Amino acid sequence: MSCRRGFTRTELVVVAFIVVLLAALLTPALNNRAGTSRLQRCAQNLQQVGMGLAIYDDAYRTFPPGGTARDDNPARTFESVHGILIPFFVEGGLKSFYRAGDWREQMEQAPRIVIPLYNCPSSEGENPVLDKLRNELSAAGGAPYPASQLYGTTNYVFCRGVTDAWCRCWLEDGNRVPRSERGMFDMNWSVRPQDVTDGLSKTIAVGEGADGSGWDLVDRTGAVVDRHRPGSADKYGMPRRPYQAWLAMEPATLAVSEQGLRVASVLACTLEPLNKNPVTDSWADVNALDDCRKSLPSAAGTHGPTTEGGPHTTPNFRSDHAGGGNFLFADGSVHFIHEDIDMLLYQQLSTYAGGEDVEVPE
């Protein structure tokens, strides 16, 4: 007769221990690999955005504006830079749902479209997002969208340089932002490749603007919009996080912020550190549109004239990648910048004509 022997309890415990041990050893490696893959796919998305910028430049001999505004008022936007670029992406079908023009006059399905190219794979933010307060205020402003309208988001934001001023900076009236502070993109204003005298390979064009559950907002008064605090959500119960609809770029103003609408932007600046959390919101003082000073001083050693004490705010760059974020440069290259980068260097890389001779850190 044959005798079949099973595992003893001790042997089962040993096997279970080995399995748990192997899982503990392999999990960090697998997570690392997954994180690296997401980082690479994020960089590839930014490279595609860079291709869109290059095609736009081929067509118009200039980079696109950071957005367009009506009546010289940043709080009344016409079209975001993300919308402007849609016809220039080689991926088919993107322009079938979007028509150039006012974002409030788009067909109902346009705002809710999720464009994978505009989103980082590491982002934990909801997409599309239901923002009932934005819908309410947009409807009051004439937008034909229902209360259930959803908004596709973007995690890639265009660089304003080291200024956060929402002002009539494109006017030749002496109130412009100094060249030493300006980035490649701003409202109603664009630069040509030959204008980027700091060098295309040394000038940030686009960076990351994460909006996941780990990010909070701080408003213009310095008050933290903390989702964990009672009353921090808007009247519809939505925590105000730094998400950004790709087709809309208005900063908040007093009229809407008093009703609880705090927003990010499709533009960002280097006035504050990379990955600063809570993120500074986007806010414009519409009664001071000729005031083009930035709100905070830039890093010591900045070239050229500097300004500070302005009334406006613009978000900082931020990323869900550990230790830093991806940035697209004007030459189409993508670099990972560490969050502990020297602030002076960081700000110099964000300006297009600051007159500095710097190298991109590796």
pLDDT of residue 2: 47
Tokens of 308: 């500070």
SS3 339: coil
| Mean per-residue pLDDT pooled into runs of 10, the chain (362 residues) | 54 58 53 69 96 95 91 78 87 72 82 92 91 87 82 96 87 70 91 96 98 83 58 76 89 85 93 95 91 92 82 96 97 97 97 91 85
Q: Are 49 and 337 in contact (CB under 8 A)?
A: no
SS3 235: coil
CB-based contacts of 174: which residues, under 8 Å, 6+ apart? none
- Phi and psi at 262, nearest 5°, equal -120, 135
pLDDT of residue 174: 53
pLDDT of residue 351: 96
pLDDT of residue 198: 95
109-112: long-range pairs with CB below 8 Å, 24+: 110/247, 111/145, 111/149, 111/150, 111/151, 111/152, 111/245, 111/247, 111/248, 112/149, 112/150, 112/151, 112/152
Task: Please give the full DSSP string across 289-314, using - where no structure is assigned.
Answer: TT----SS---TT--S------S-B-
pLDDT of residue 69: 84
Strand partners, 175: none
pLDDT in tens, 135-193: 898 888 777 778 889 999 999 999 999 999 998 876 655 557 888 899 999 988 889 99
pLDDT of residue 9: 60
Burial label for 110, CB within 10 Å (0-12, 13-18, 19+), is middle
Residue (of 238, 309, 242, 228) closest to 282 by Cα position: 242
pLDDT of residue 21: 55
Torsion (CA) 163, 166, 167, 169 in degrees, nearest 10: 50
pLDDT of residue 106: 82
Name the residue with tokens 């960081």: 346
pLDDT of residue 14: 58
Residue (of 326, 356, 362) closest to 344 by Cα position: 356
CA 251/CA 249 separation, integer angstroms:
6
SS3 362: coil
- Phi and psi at 105, nearest 5°, equal -110, 15
**Cα separation values, 220 from 110, 125, 259, 262, Å:** 31, 23, 14, 10
Neighbours of 87 (CB within 10 A): 15
CB-based contacts of 189: which residues, under 8 Å, 6+ apart? 65, 66, 169, 170
pLDDT of residue 54: 96
4: Cα separation from own chain's centroid = 65
Tokens of 304: 């050229």
